Amino acid sequence: MTDQKRTTKTPPKKRKSAAPKAKSARPTKRKAKSEPPEASSAKSPTKKRKSTAPKTKAKVTKAKARKSKGPPRVSSIPAPAARRAYRPKSALHTRICELFGIEYPIIQTGMGWVSGASLTSATSSAGGLGILAAATMTFPELREAIAKVKDRTDKPFGVNMRADQSDVMKRVQLLIAERVKVASFAQAPGERVVKTLKDAGVLTMPTIGARRHAEKVQAWGVDAVIAQGQEGGGHTGQIPTSILLPDVSAAVDIPVVGAGGFRDGRGLVAALALGGAGIAMGTRFLLTQESQVPDHVKQIYLKTKANGTVVTTAVDGHPQRVIRTALIEQLEKANPLTRFPRAALNALSLMKVTGTSLPELLEEGMAMKQNQELTWAQLAMAANAPMLTKASMVDGKVAAGILPTGQIAGVIDEIPTVSELIQRIIAEAEQTLARLGA
């Protein structure tokens, strides 16, 4: 793996113009160098937290949910009674607020089987940017979900896709026709996809886990990146957010949104201090009222401790952060040869669920093979993650499925509404800025 040479340590600049500068992909500020390997799984112990303010009125509390004793791990800032006034001059009004046309620099990321129309529209209505997870939707489901979001809000929202899906260009055309504001991608989307969207006025924002990837996609003309650190949920990289975010922010000119390990207003201010233009959260939004994950599954997340997650390649061959469950332990112990038949079966179920025909699956497989140099065994395993996620997130069969999560689950205690969550984050961020004298 490569990294860049630290020639200059330029702090993120304050820009006079709020307009996005995405079209001119300026040269990056650093050169590549080798990067030492890092541990793939972090096991941080749960810390005791000082709670100075009264406990919030949470709908479901972790204190109730978990049996272990210890201080409740809730945000210390009560939600304000009413929605806050729009403050364009606030430090919290960042470049992504201008770029995406949103009130707060808070993004709810695309999460397969989790972020549907309900969560996405709630986030956008509340002033953040909601993102529909389309990689696990059929084309008609995606069309329907977009229509539902538009019925519920007139605010901007995004759609998360996989650029290696066989019908990606059809989906791109749908986003263009529906005037979706932002296309987000789990990996680098490819120049053709970026150009087609850009020419039609759709903003693009891939998720990256290393600086060199941010530099590559900036050169393709993407409008922003989400830099996800290793503490983040689902497929994740090796570099912690505290190192990745300032590194990427200093290397590229487009806005960089921090992801991995965020849940509150202090985190938002920290992300801004590290050069980010906002935060993107998966796990925190999974644990809201509007997320349609079954309640008993949400309770498992609430009970998870900060060291209760693991990064494993046993699911689909790619590092993925999940809750450590009996199934994960079993998969990790399994001989790779016995994993393959299960993966092949999952590939067949995925075909059925997503309405993909065998020729389409093969075409998709070929594209993935070319793009990612996977073996056929790895390819069949790639279907594992979505099917095993569906088993738990949609069907509620926890023993048969996986529970992708960020480490932040270990310090989340309650399940607020999306609006309460966003208002609380902004209130806490403002208090934090005031405390710091900003």
Ligand X SMILES: Cc1cc2nc3c(=O)[nH]c(=O)nc-3n(C[C@H](O)[C@H](O)[C@H](O)COP(=O)(O)O)c2cc1C
Q: Could you list the residues that contact ligand X (CB under 6 A)?
A: 109-112, 114, 133, 135, 160, 186, 207, 228, 231-234, 259-262, 281-284, 286, 404-406, 408
Q: How buried is 410 (Cβ within 10 angstroms: 0-12 exposed, 13-18 middle, 19+ buried)?
A: buried
Q: 10 or 371, CB closer to ligand X?
A: 371
Q: 94 or 228, CB closer to ligand X?
A: 228
Strand 225-228 and strand 309-312: pairing? unpaired
Q: How far is the CB of 438 from ligand X (least distance, A)?
A: 24
Q: How far is the CB of 258 from ligand X (least distance, A)?
A: 9
Q: 105 or 282, CB closer to ligand X?
A: 282
Shortest Cβ contact with ligand X: which residue?
A: 282
Distance CA 340, CA 376 (A): 10
CB 226 within 8 A of CB 207: yes
Q: How far is the CB of 28 from ligand X (least distance, A)?
A: 23
Q: What distances in angstroms separate CA 331 from CA 281, 384, 391, one per listed residue? A: 27, 11, 16
Q: Which residues pair with 130 in a beta bridge?
A: 108, 157
Q: How far is the CB of 159 from ligand X (least distance, A)?
A: 11
Q: How far is the CB of 131 from ligand X (least distance, A)?
A: 8
Helix (H, G, I), strand (E, B) or coil at 182: strand
**Helix residue ranges, H only, 237-383:** 241-251, 265-273, 283-286, 295-303, 326-333, 336-354, 358-372, 376-382
CB 110 within 8 A of CB 187: no
Q: 126 or 135, CB closer to ligand X?
A: 135
Q: 215 or 231, CB closer to ligand X?
A: 231
Residue written as token pair 């529909």: 132
Q: How far is the CB of 21 from ligand X (least distance, A)?
A: 24
Helix (H, G, I), strand (E, B) or coil at 103: coil
Q: 275 or 401, CB closer to ligand X?
A: 401
Q: How far is the CB of 24 from ligand X (least distance, A)?
A: 27
Q: 190 or 404, CB closer to ligand X?
A: 404
Distance CA 287, CA 351 (A): 29
Q: 221 or 261, CB closer to ligand X?
A: 261
* Buried-exposed string 377-392: b where 16+ CB fall within 10 A, e elsewhere: ebbbbbbbbbbbbbbb
Q: 30 or 193, CB closer to ligand X?
A: 193
Distance from chain centroid for Cα 312 = 18
Q: How far is the CB of 261 from ligand X (least distance, A)?
A: 5
Sign of the C-alpha dihedral, residues 257, 259, 263, 269? negative
- Residues present in the chain in total: 438
Sign of the C-alpha dihedral, residues 258, 259, 264, 267? negative
Q: How far is the CB of 294 from ligand X (least distance, A)?
A: 13
